[in-house]
Amino acid sequence: MHQHIAHITLVVKDYDEALAFYTKKLHFEIIEDTFISAEKRWVRIAPKNSKACCLLLAKAANETQKEYIGNQTGGRVFLFLYTNNFWEDYQQMKRNDIHFLEEPRKEPYGTVVVFQDLYGNKWDLIEPNIS
């Protein structure tokens, strides 16, 4: 049996504002944007050259879902963005006004910094150490 995680749902306030942030500020690519109804779309995005696992942007459909926008993990880091050039990506993100919660740091597993997306979800930008 072969299994893999295909998509991770990210609850958003608005499809177009989320797409603008992820494509313009983080330079993600739109993998799919299919209109299902006036209120619902199937929107998948991923970092360039990385399509094995995508984010599925899902517009909050009710008040309960709206409460979790930006805090899907109770304040913990939610997503981990791996890179092979930490400093280049970090500087580009700074130029794109990404909000960082700390200064970059070296850890036993690599170089890392925590940043927030447009809704406040916490992400790690990581360049792992090569063993």
pLDDT reported for residue 131: 56
The answer on 98 and 50 residing in a single domain is no
Per the model's pLDDT, the better-predicted residue between 130 and 68 turns out to be 68
| Segment 90-117, tens digit of pLDDT | 999 999 999 999 999 999 999 999 999 9
The answer on 48 and 15 residing in a single domain is yes
pTM value is 0.93
Structural domain boundaries, residue 122: 72-130
Nearest-10 Cα torsion for 21, 24, 102, 108 = 110
Residue 52 has pLDDT above 90, yes or no: no
Two tokens at 122? 């916490």
Residue type, 7: H
The domain total for the chain is 2
The answer on 105 and 85 residing in a single domain is yes
Measured from the Cβ of residue 127, the count of other Cβ atoms closer than 10 Å reads: 20
Which CATH number belongs to the domain containing residue 117 in this structure?
3.10.180.10
